[in-house]
């Protein structure tokens, strides 16, 4: 969940900034980082970070889970692709909103550019991001199994795989149902959030 939050806390501002500074070096750099983050496999990034920060620089541990510093590398690895996807989608949504008639009207009234971007276009651009959030949680759980293996975390992978190997099927079934419930609940929250993002949406 740390990686889930990081991907939005970093990806959304980067997407807004890239859209507001379209066709500038800032936009080009953000787009390049987004393409790199989306194209880089999580396991390869994990091995690269372990080699650099644990093997060479000795700044961070390569395994363990008892202190906050053990969370840094796994969180970065899990958040990398999500940040890139969020940034690219937010940029596209913002560019679409900035081309709408109501944005041109606000600009014609003399509003400041960041007022138009932040107070007017931003909220409407969040709709596809909210749609993506429920699906991304399911992807994140799948990636977690790989990352936990590399960083030797006794978490989701250990409990699920160990219960299957020991033929402890009730535990495996319960944990699988729990993961499904988390994903369903996340999608439900995303549907509820539509009402906040776009007040025009009404629910029966």
Domain boundaries, given as residue ranges, for the chain:
2-197
Report the largest interatomic distance among the alpha carbons of the chain, rounded to a whole angstrom.
Answer: 68
**Domain spanning 2-197, CATH architecture:** Orthogonal Bundle (1.10)
Distances in whole angstroms, Cα of residue 152 to Cα of each of 32, 66, 187, 189 = 31, 12, 30, 32
| Cα–Cα distance measured from residue 88 to residue 45, given in angstroms and rounded to the nearest whole number | 19
- DSSP per-residue letters across 121-190: IHHHHHHHHHHHHHHHHHHHHHHHHHHHHHHT--SHHHHHHHHHHTT-HHHHHHHHHHHHHHHHHHHHHH
pTM of the model: 0.81
Token pair, residue 119, equals: 């107070």
Residue 154: the pLDDT is: 73
For every one of its 204 residues, what pLDDT tens digit does the chain have, with 9 covering 90 and above?
Answer: 778 888 889 999 999 888 888 888 988 998 898 888 888 888 888 888 888 888 888 888 877 777 778 888 888 888 888 889 899 999 998 888 888 888 888 888 887 877 777 777 888 888 888 888 877 777 777 777 778 778 877 777 777 777 878 888 888 888 888 888 888 888 888 777 777 777 666 554
CA dihedral defined by 160, 164, 170, 172, rounded to 10 degrees? 30
Contact (CB, 8 A) for 7 and 86: yes
Q: How confident is the model at residue 65, as a pLDDT?
A: 74
Confidence at residue 204, expressed as pLDDT on a 0 to 100 scale = 47
What is the C-alpha separation between 149 and 168, in angstroms, rounded?
A: 20
């Amino acid at each position: 969940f740390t990686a889930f939050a990081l991907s939005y806390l970093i990806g959304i501002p980067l997407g807004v900034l890239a859209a507001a500074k379209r066709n500038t070096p800032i936009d080009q750099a953000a787009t390049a980082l987004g393409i790199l983050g989306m194209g880089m496999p999580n396991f390869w990034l994990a091995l690269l970070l372990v080699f650099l920060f644990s093997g060479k620089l000795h700044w961070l541990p390569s395994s363990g889970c008892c202190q906050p510093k053990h969370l840094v590398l796994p969180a970065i690895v899990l958040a990398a692709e999500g940040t890139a996807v969020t940034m690219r989608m937010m940029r596209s949504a913002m560019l679409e909103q900035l081309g709408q008639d109501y944005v041109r009207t606000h600009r014609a009234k003399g509003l400041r550019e960041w007022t138009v971007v932040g107070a007017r276009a931003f909220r409407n651009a969040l709709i596809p991001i909210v749609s993506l959030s429920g699906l991304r949680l399911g992807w994140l759980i799948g990636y977690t199994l790989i990352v936990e293996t590399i960083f030797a975390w006794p978490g989701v992978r250990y409990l699920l795989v160990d219960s299957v190997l020991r033929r402890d099927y009730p535990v495996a079934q319960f944990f699988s149902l729990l993961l499904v419930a988390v994903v369903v609940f996340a999608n439900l929250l995303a549907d509820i959030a539509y009402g906040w993002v776009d007040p025009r949406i009404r629910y029966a």
